Amino acid sequence: MKPLYAQSQLRAMEQAHAHDGLMEKAGAAAARLASSLLLTVSGARILVLAGPGNNGGDALVAARYLRQQGYQVDVVFTGTYASLPPDARAAYEAWLADGGEIASGLPQGREWQLIVDGLFGIGLTRELDALHRDLVQQVNAMGVPVLSLDIPTGICMHTGRVLGAAVCAAHTLTFLGLKPGLYTQDGPDHAGQVYLDNLGLNAAPPAAGFLVDVPPALPARRRLNSHKGSHGSVGVIGGAEHMVGAVLLAGRAALRAGAGRVYCGLLAGSAPALDQGQAELMLRDAASVPQFATVMVAGPGMGQSDTAVSLLHSLLELSQLLILDADALNLLAAHPELQAILHQRKPGTLAITPHPGEAATLLHITTAEVQADRVASALRMAREFGAIVVLKGCGSVVALPDGRWFINHSGNPGMASAGMGDTLCGIIAALAAQEMSLEEAVLLAVYLHGAAADSLVAKGVGPVGMTASEVASEARALLNQWRYR
Ligand SMILES: NC(=O)C1=CN([C@@H]2O[C@H](COP(=O)(O)OP(=O)(O)OC[C@H]3O[C@@H](n4cnc5c(N)ncnc54)[C@H](OP(=O)(O)O)[C@@H]3O)[C@@H](O)[C@H]2O)[C@@H](O)CC1
Ligand SMILES: Nc1ncnc2c1ncn2[C@@H]1O[C@H](COP(=O)(O)OP(=O)(O)O)[C@@H](O)[C@H]1O
Ligand SMILES: [K+]
């Protein structure tokens, strides 16, 4: 896992090292990366975009080093000299003293092999103005690889939101520490490959959150002398009329993630007595399932009938670990009396896994408002519902009631297909059933689910047409590989 920082923490790091030549180091690192990206292009011409603040200063330093290395460098500066912060002003002067020139608009009739984006970094506080929006759109239309400095211009460092328009970079060299906005919402689509340079600062402050980019804690190795009862029993309740598959997908995923026994309780009147494709699943009357299970999932395809409400009500009052998804979340949003029970539960025993639409329903706001700050939305749900929260989507956010949060780095758009969420909650339940804490199970399941999808894409199974069932099987392969090889 890697630390993620808030703007205030990065500012504090900058201030504590104000006399350590950080901008010079940042610009030099940018020039090194730029020239390594250009290795195959001799005599390349580079466009450097320098904005009105210190991000522009980084770009001007990079421009100077690149020019000294023999590249042809065109600098476009969008600020005003008089308003530059001191370090950036020094970089501006050094560029001119070195013989560099400054333009205020894009030079016409030139072709560049690389563009260095130093318009805005972590100081972008509002939507881009018309001038910068225009420039960003022109840059994106050129089809030239872009190296963004610190964060692609136009991406909010905290939320990954596009502020009016944003540079689509092939590479982002980020300084001092990783920013959450690089990893969730629109950040990943704009940042390309991310590189970190800590500018020689080895002592970093405590992180605000964490990027989950390696498998977190795994379940213990199995004792030789174990039996099915040693690996927990998962129960899944849902599957109203026409939605039976949701429960079966969750149940099958739980089996593949190692649950000793899996029980499925289907609400549909015409429910099958057997899963023809997975005879290991035990299909029972929904109300009876909790008595067999150590970990319960409720919600996949559950519908919003009175039966569903009363089943959920009784489940919430039981002491088992509980994962709520899909319709269970819609029911929770619609029934304040159900929410009241949540806070009587033992801490750490409830997880909820909303996608942004379900999160909006739970928080009584719009989906756009949820997405505007995914970490804040997830933390709010964690607090209000006393639950471990997975806010799903590109860069799933895991938030805990005590304020800790994580952004998941695995996964891909092949997962945007029906049934993926059902598979995720089955995996969470199975891991929790194998004696992991619910928090550990959630973190591992979210990473594993995305890593399985990534592994399938690497094999050519997706992103187009990848199915949730295939993800569950691939998750089994990875879990075995991580734990037993
Ligand atoms: N200081 C250090 O030690 C180090 C700093 N480093 C580098 O500095 C970067 C942070 O620099 P920064 O704080 O100067 O912010 P930056 O992103 O350049 O933009 C601020 C400028 O933009 C302006 N502005 C904002 N929004 C705007 C808008 N929508 N449209 C138009 N203007 C807008 C804003 O003006 P104002 O809000 O005052 O009107 C201000 O002039 C950081 O990302 C890293 O690259 C590294 O070198 C490491 C050492
Ligand atoms: N673009 C994406 N990048 C990464 N993960 C994604 C992406 N789209 C969807 N996912 C993941 O796929 C799953 C989809 O869940 P959900 O929307 O509940 O699907 P369903 O309700 O159809 O089962 C979530 O775990 C989500 O994080
Ligand atoms: K930038």
Q: What is the DSSP string of 36-95?
A: HHTTT-TT-EEEEEE-SSHHHHHHHHHHHHHHHTT-EEEEEE-S-GGGS-HHHHHHHHHH
Judged against a pLDDT cut of 80, whether residue 203 lies above it is answered with no
pLDDT band at 84, cuts 50/70/90?
very high
Q: Which ligand is nearest to the CA of 29?
A: 1
For residue 204, the 8-state DSSP code is -
Residue with CA at minimum distance from ligand 1 atom 37: 125
Note the pLDDT tens digit of each residue in 214-243.
999 999 999 999 999 889 999 999 999 999
Judged against a pLDDT cut of 90, whether residue 343 lies above it is answered with no
Expressed in angstroms and rounded, the spacing between residue 103 Cα and the centre of ligand 1 is 20
The answer to whether the annotation marks 154 as part of a ligand binding site is: no
Identify residue 394 by its one-letter amino acid code: C
Whole-number pLDDT of residue 16: 87
Note the pLDDT tens digit of each residue in 4-52.
999 999 999 888 888 889 999 999 999 999 999 997 767 899 999 999 9
Surface-to-core class of residue 417, CB atoms within 10 Å of its CB (0-12 exposed, 13-18 middle, 19+ buried): middle
Surface-to-core class of residue 83, CB atoms within 10 Å of its CB (0-12 exposed, 13-18 middle, 19+ buried): exposed
Q: How many CB atoms lie within 10 A of CB 373?
A: 20
In short, whether 21's Cβ falls inside 6 Å of ligand 1 is no
Q: Could you tell me the CATH superfamily of domain 2-207? A: YjeF N-terminal domain (3.40.50.10260)
Residue with CA at minimum distance from ligand 1 atom 26: 124
Report the share of the chain in percent with pLDDT over 90.
Answer: 93
Average predicted confidence (pLDDT) for the chain: 96
Note the pLDDT tens digit of each residue in 436-461.
999 999 999 999 999 999 999 999 99
Higher pLDDT pick, 445 / 208: 445
Whole-number pLDDT of residue 125: 85
Whole-number pLDDT of residue 207: 92
In short, whether 299's Cβ falls inside 6 Å of ligand 2 is no
In short, whether 466's Cβ falls inside 6 Å of ligand 2 is no
Whole-number pLDDT of residue 19: 85
Q: Would the pTM of this model clear 0.90, i.e. be above it?
A: yes
Q: Which residues surround ligand 3, an ion (CB under 5 A)?
A: 117, 148-149, 153
Q: Which ligand is nearest to the CA of 56?
A: 1
Residue with CA at minimum distance from ligand 2 atom 12: 415
Contact 4, 179 (CB under 8 A): yes
Expressed in angstroms and rounded, the spacing between residue 156 Cα and the centre of ligand 3 is 11
Q: Which ligand is nearest to the CA of 11?
A: 1
Judged against a pLDDT cut of 90, whether residue 357 lies above it is answered with yes
- Mean pLDDT calculated for residue range 301-330: 97
Whole-number pLDDT of residue 461: 97
Judged against a pLDDT cut of 80, whether residue 254 lies above it is answered with yes
Name the class of domain 228-484.
alpha beta
The answer to whether the annotation marks 43 as part of a ligand binding site is: no
Any idea which residue has 């872009």 for tokens?
146
pLDDT band at 140, cuts 50/70/90?
very high
Give the residue extent of every domain in the chain: 2-207, 228-484
ipTM: 0.92
